[in-house]
């Protein structure tokens, strides 16, 4: 069951406070995201990314949530502070396994590993249907 | 509750489609920055109305507000299709004002431009979710189409069941690779064109009439 708040680590310590300047990676399970609203998911992601963390979602976001993530990200960009996000998922496979009822009811299969990080710290080196290779830099 | 809401929305979409068939469709021109969206919008508007939609530029994010050209009547095969063209800002997940400094801009101008660009992208996403009936997705055929923005946007368009026409633009440039775009989105038809030179616009108009008429 997901926790009651969108705080990943559940404590008040500043994120990414490793004295060696390491990179913190939050791997968030599908179960953790399941009980959250779309906006809570976006807040959970952006709060982590704005702290300089890399966020990995086991099951990704729905297209509608991705659209809202872009929109909210844009509203939070500010010069010399936050330049946006880098996000990578595997390209969508053919949705041939969706049933007619699922399509009719608007239920979408969103299970796709998704990597999200600060735009100024994560760079995609290679991406294809089966491999995402990224370079993560320290602050 | 969610089940009933989804069912209601699905029925609403079907009935809206049935009863609003004769209204002009709002067609959003989407794509990444610098794909040639405004050049295409201007080409369509000039060909059929004589007016332009907005200024074109090689600097990214020249279009920072969605611009609508209403009542564009396109004649194909003896019938007329009326659409409203919505030229949208290029979609991205990041905007850094420092990139504008490379285009001989002062910092204040670059910061203002980046702020307007972020507002424009947010606006474009809102239009996509709420206010367009179909999408012309424009890609620069000289660049790699396998980007996250393209993957996400095509996914968003498909999830909304919007008719989508993919255009492989800039075929006049060396390095243009239309097949690469066709391979990236095999579930959609890809039409090559040069909006700048006006190459293959006849086929583009035929497809617009077919997809959005």
Chain A residues whose beta carbon lies within 8 Å of the beta carbon of residue B91: 70
Q: Pairing state of beta strands A132-136 and A122-127?
A: antiparallel
Mutate to test the interface with A, among B118, B181, B185 (most CBs of A within 10 A): B118
Note whether A4 and A31 are within 8 A (CB). no
Distance of CA B190 to the CA centre of its chain: 14
Please, what's the largest Cα pairwise distance for chain B?
A: 55
Strands annotated E in chain A: 25-28, 54-57, 85-89, 114-118, 122-127, 132-136
Total of domains in chain B: 1
Check CB contact under 8 Å for B152 and A88: no
Residue B194 placed within a domain: yes
Chain B residue whose CA is closest to A76: B118
* CA torsion, ordered B8, B14, B16, B21, to nearest 10 deg: 180
Q: Inspect the interface and report whether the beta carbons of A92 and B155 lie closer than 8 Å.
A: yes
| pLDDT value, residue B9 | 59
| CATH code (residue B86) | 3.40.50.300
Structure token pair of residue B57 = 């530029």
Residue B16 lies in a domain: no
- From start to end of A84-131, where are the E strands? 85-89, 114-118, 122-127
Binary contact (B122, A75; C-beta < 8 A): yes
Question: Is B17 within the bounds of a domain?
Answer: no
Tell me: the pLDDT tens digits for B45-98?
A: 999 998 888 778 777 777 778 888 999 999 988 888 999 999 999 999 999 998
**Is B1 domain-assigned?**
no
Question: In this predicted structure, what is the pLDDT of residue A5?
Answer: 45
- Can you give the pLDDT at residue B10? 58
pLDDT tens profile B175-185: 999 999 999 99
CB contact under 8 Å between B151 and A63, yes or no, is no
Task: Determine the average pLDDT of the residues in B14-40.
Answer: 79
ipTM summary value? 0.82
Q: Within a domain: residue B39?
A: yes
Is the CB of B155 less than 8 angstroms away from the CB of A105?
no
Structure confidence at residue B19 (pLDDT)? 45
| Residue A98 · residue A109 · CB < 8 Å | yes
Mean predicted confidence (pLDDT) in B10-19: 52
pTM higher than the cut 0.80: yes
Minimal C-alpha gap between B180 and chain A (Å) = 13
- The domain of B123 spans 24-212
With a cut of 70, say whether residue B135 has pLDDT above it: yes
Q: B146 touching A, CB under 8 A?
A: yes
Q: What is the chain B residue with the closest CA to A69?
A: B93
In a domain, residue B72? The reply is yes
| Contact status, residue B169 vs residue B193, Cβ threshold 8 Å | yes
- Nearest CA to B144 among A89, A126, A107, A66? A126
pLDDT of amino acid B176: 97
Chain B, nearest residue to A104 by Cα: B10
Local confidence band at B2 (pLDDT 50, 70, 90 cut-offs): low
Contact indicator for A30, A60 with CB cutoff of 8 Å: no
The pLDDT > 90 percentage for chain B reads 66
CB–CB of B95 and A83 under 8 A?
Answer: yes
In a structure prediction context, what are the per-residue pLDDT tens digits for chain A, which is 139 residues long? 444 444 544 444 455 555 567 889 999 999 999 999 999 999 999 999 999 999 999 999 999 999 999 999 999 999 888 999 999 987 655 444 455 555 555 555 557 889 999 999 888 888 777 788 888 887 6
Calpha distance A119→B60 (Å, rounded): 17
* Residue B19 domain-assigned (yes or no): no
Q: Is residue B8 part of a domain?
A: no
A63/B91 CB distance under 8 A: no
With an 8 Å Cβ cutoff, are A77 and B129 in contact?
A: no
Which residue of A66, A120, A124 is in closest CB contact with B152? A66
Confidence of residue B134 (pLDDT cuts 50, 70, 90): very high
Residue A105 to chain B, least CA–CA distance (Å) = 5
Residues B148, A88: C-beta atoms closer than 8 Å = yes
């Amino acid at each position: 069951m997901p926790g009651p708040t969108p705080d990943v680590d559940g404590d008040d310590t500043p994120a990414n406070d490793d004295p060696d300047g390491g990179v913190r990676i939050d791997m968030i399970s599908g179960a953790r995201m399941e009980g959250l609203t779309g906006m809570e998911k976006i807040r959970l992601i952006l709060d982590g990314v704005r702290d300089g963390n890399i966020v990995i979602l086991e099951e990704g976001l729905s297209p509608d949530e991705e659209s809202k993530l872009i929109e909210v990200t844009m509203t939070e960009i500010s010069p010399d502070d936050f330049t946006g996000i880098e996000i990578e998922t595997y390209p969508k496979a053919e949705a041939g396994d969706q049933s007619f009822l699922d399509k009719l009811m608007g239920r979408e299969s969103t299970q796709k590993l998704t990597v999200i990080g600060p735009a100024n710290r994560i760079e995609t080196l290679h991406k294809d249907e089966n491999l995402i290779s990224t370079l993560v830099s320290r602050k | 509750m969610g089940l009933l809401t989804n069912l209601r929305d699905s029925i609403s979409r079907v009935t809206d489609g049935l009863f609003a068939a004769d209204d002009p469709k709002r067609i959003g021109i989407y794509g990444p920055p610098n794909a040639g969206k405004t050049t295409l919008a201007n080409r369509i508007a000039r060909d059929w109305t004589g007016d332009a939609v907005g200024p074109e530029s090689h600097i990214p994010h020249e279009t920072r507000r969605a611009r609508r050209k209403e009542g564009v009547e396109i004649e194909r095969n003896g019938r007329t299709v009326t659409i409203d063209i919505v030229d949208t800002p290029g979609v991205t997940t990041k905007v850094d004002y420092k990139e504008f400094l490379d285009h001989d801009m002062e910092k204040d101008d670059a910061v203002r431009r980046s702020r307007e660009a972020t507002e424009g992208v947010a606006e474009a996403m809102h239009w996509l979710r709420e206010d367009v009936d179909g999408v012309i997705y424009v890609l620069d055929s000289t660049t790699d189409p396998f980007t996250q923005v393209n993957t996400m946007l095509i996914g968003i368009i498909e999830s909304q069941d919007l008719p989508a026409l993919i255009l492989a633009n800039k075929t006049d440039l060396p390095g243009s690779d239309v097949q690469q775009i066709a391979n990236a989105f095999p579930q959609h038809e890809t039409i090559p064109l040069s909006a700048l030179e006006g190459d293959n616009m006849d086929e583009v108009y035929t497809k617009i009439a077919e997809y959005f008429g």
